Amino acid sequence: MQVEKQEKRRQNHRRFLHVNAENVTKMRKRWSIRLHPLFFATGLVYCFTGDLFAFLLSCVVALQHECAHAFAAAKLGYTLNAVVLMPYGAVIDGDMDGISLKDEAFVALCGPLCNLATAALFVAAWWFFPTLYAYTDTAYYSSVAIALVNLLPAYPLDGGRILRAAVLNAVFRKQPDFICAERKADRICRCVTLSIALIIAAVFGIFALRGEYNFSLLILSAFLLTGVWGNREKAVYKRMDFSCGDILQKGALVRRVVVGENTAIKNTLRYLADGEYLVLEVYDSNQNHLFDLPQNQLSAWFLSAPSPYVTLGQLYEKRGKMHEKRDNVS
């Protein structure tokens, strides 16, 4: 019976091994950088206050911040389709499809951690080369400021995304209906964001009454209010398509890796390498060879998988049943 079962699975695999490329959704797009109106408003404020250089440097730090997000997301098989620059970073709205709350919080945390790591490198450089302080102090303070601001628990900042993931996880444990739990988590995060925005606006008003106008506080308050009532259709993460039809035309080395059928499909992405064509040899728990999974097929599976945490064995069985059903209908 075991031999017959293995042979049946191999036959099912051969039926769907070759995928029609026209049915695979291509997601290879270059990043586009868009500027939010608040970004221009912030630039004008810095121009009038004579701090244009600090503003331009903050833009570079913000791009570094978002690159850290993109790098962390790429490790999970996701890529950005756009970057929308805002005064204190960029708005990355819309959850990554099927990603766990833990991984979503990890991606959000990578941005501030990157800025803090950069600031730490500046401090280390000053220790060995004190004269560098005069040339790098602005970059240091910009990195620290953007990191700390983004850690505020207010949407659309990274701290707000982490808060949303934590609240959604807590609410979902008590309320199994995910959609209702998500709506409740969104309401809580909106209330927190609105409260922080009003507090920052009040602080600006207090300083203004004393004749001290800190427009950065006013801009930050407006920035947070866009997270409460602003347009949500912004830059989003999408799953990566790592099929490589172009490399097959030129020729490439084949990299074969042995994995088990209980391996989550997202964990196989670590074996991808530039200039090499990946082929996974998938085995069951009894160390019996089930099938080979070439890179183009792996890409198609990843794009169509309901979740990046689905195992190769589950996807294999699902596709086998789909082809059996088609054969019965025909």
Which whole number is the average pLDDT over 280-302?
89
0.75 surpassed by pTM:
no
Which whole number is the average pLDDT over 186-198?
90
Euclidean distance between CA atoms 104 and 272, whole angstroms: 22
> At 239, is the secondary structure helix, strand, or coil?
strand
Helix residue ranges, H only, the chain: 2-16, 37-49, 52-75, 101-128, 133-150, 158-174, 178-209, 215-229, 245-250, 295-304, 312-329
- What crossing angle do the helices spanning 101-128 and 52-75 adopt, rounded to 10°? 130
pLDDT(84) > 70: no
pLDDT(321) > 60: no
280: phi then psi, degrees, rounded to nearest 5? -95, 130
Which whole number is the average pLDDT over 219-239?
69
Query: 89 forms bridges with which residues in the sheet?
Result: 86
Q: What is the pLDDT of residues 157-181, one digit of tens each?
A: 888 888 988 888 888 777 777 778 8
pLDDT of residue 75: 81
Identify the CA nearest to 223 among candidates 166, 160, 165, 138: 160
pLDDT(271) > 70: yes
CB under 8 A, 24+ apart: contacts of 242-251: 242/77, 242/269, 242/272, 242/295, 242/298, 242/299, 242/302, 243/21, 243/24, 243/295, 243/296, 243/299, 243/300, 244/277, 244/295, 244/296, 245/21, 245/296, 247/275, 247/277, 248/277
Tokens, residue 262? 């209980």
pLDDT band of 199, cuts 50, 70, 90: very high
pLDDT of residue 17: 38
Pairing state between β 82-86 and 89-90: antiparallel
Q: Which range in 53-57, 88-92, 103-107, 317-321 is most confidently predicted, on average pLDDT?
A: 103-107
Tokens, residue 239? 């799953």
pLDDT band of 87, cuts 50, 70, 90: low
pLDDT of residue 116: 94
pLDDT(326) > 70: no
Helix (H) or strand (E) holding 20: none
- Side chain identity, residue 26: K
Q: Could you state, in order of their start, the residue ranges of all structural domains in the chain?
A: 2-26+241-329, 32-239
User: Angle at the Cα of 308 (from 304 to 309), degrees rounded to 5?
Assistant: 130
pLDDT of residue 115: 93
More confident residue, 244 or 321: 244
pLDDT of residue 216: 79
pLDDT of residue 120: 94
pLDDT band of 235, cuts 50, 70, 90: low
Query: 7 forms bridges with which residues in the sheet?
Result: none
More confident residue, 94 or 17: 94
Which whole number is the average pLDDT over 244-255?
75
Give how far Cα 48 sits from Cα of 19, 85, 146, Å: 58, 21, 21
pLDDT of residue 203: 93
